[in-house]
Structure 1
């Protein structure tokens, strides 16, 4: 039976590919589908997450309740889960973290949002931190789109959205004058995803377009050069993150990357989307 609170959130999430309004506007949110520990039936729950390299982290806070949430009991019994990010849908393996790793990552979550600490203070139970490892082969999962052109736009919009979240953390985070560990990881996770996307375009998509649409070669040449420039900006951001915690310095690097990437995505859509539309 649908949960009276969760179902409208799930419906809005799916209708808007993860973009939320109201209370959840600007939040990192995903849909987690688990298998019922007792019933064996699927249950979908909206949960907040933190990016962490090749995995994502979810926290079983239950708003500070003295009981673990049902979805946590479900994934302990059945560790294979389904994740919907708003862009991709994929199967994942859930791993309950323990000891020092759990404590370190929970502290990072608190740095990102002090509300997690408030929840922990309300209960004697140790709030679990769960890592979700993608099981998708050969890519991040199934893109939630009905055409190739739409898929490209959806992925681009996901990069735009993630950059907007990273930028917002400089000014709306709990301590905007310093750069917390969560911001470092978020930036580097984003950069790795961007690298993977551009590599896929350079090695698969662009050669295919070259073969079918030779007139697009000048645009593809420019896009490849922009990939190189963006990679340079990413590396400069990595070096800055490794060498300083000064928010102003890091903000400048993020803004440079943002400007270059937004211009690149706009140009790519302007040049390539008509080809996808013409091809059906």
Structure 2
């Protein structure tokens, strides 16, 4: 079992996310929209403590027309990532894909949904299964569903 940031410390994970966002910005979006064979998204949330806007680059192992599935793994840490806690507090968010912006409502997948999605998630990136074995917590799977009204 691990504590803190799993394989990588929390600070390293945050730094890598900022670096990833920087690559997308400085290349005008030509690079950075795939990671480990998976599409990436830029998740825009509201900070649960500060109320300030937050942005995080994440991989999306399941990307479909009406939903995007995210995994709150934080590299196998025993703590939930801040972006997940922000979504629990404020589930309305915005996802930026390479050429598309989606207004979404996020929710933690039910146990049944996670059981259905987990094989697809680990097929997209086997590391998620290793992360789950490494931590004491049940890593949340987050379902982000497009909002029909488009309102943030």
The answer to whether the superposition gives a TM-score over 0.5 is: yes
RMSD: 2.3
Give 2:58's aligned residue: 47
Give 1:111's aligned residue: 123
Cα distance in structure 2, aligned partners of 1:113 and 1:38: 32
Offset, 1:136? 5.5
Cα distance in structure 2, aligned partners of 1:76 and 1:57: 15
> Radius of gyration: which is bigger?
1
Higher share of residues assigned strand: 2
Cα distance in structure 1, aligned partners of 2:92 and 2:129: 28
Structure 1, unpaired ranges of 5+? 139-280
Cα distance in structure 1, aligned partners of 2:92 and 2:42: 14
Higher share of residues assigned helix: 1
State the secondary structure of the residue aligned to 2:114: helix
CA contact (8 A) 1:18 1:29 kept: no
- The structure whose RCO (Cα within 8 Å, separation 6+) is larger is 2
User: Which whole-Å deviations, capped at 9, do the CAs of 1:130-162 have from their partners, x for residues lacking one?
Assistant: 111122658xxxxxxxxxxxxxxxxxxxxxxxx
Offset, 1:83? 0.6
Q: How does 1:66-145 map to 2 (within 5 A)?
A: 66-135=78-147, 137=149
Cα distance in structure 1, aligned partners of 2:66 and 2:77: 30
* 1:20 aligns to 2:32 (yes or no): yes
The TM-score normalised by the length of structure 1 is 0.45
Structure 2, unpaired ranges of 5+? 1-13
Offset, 1:112? 2.1
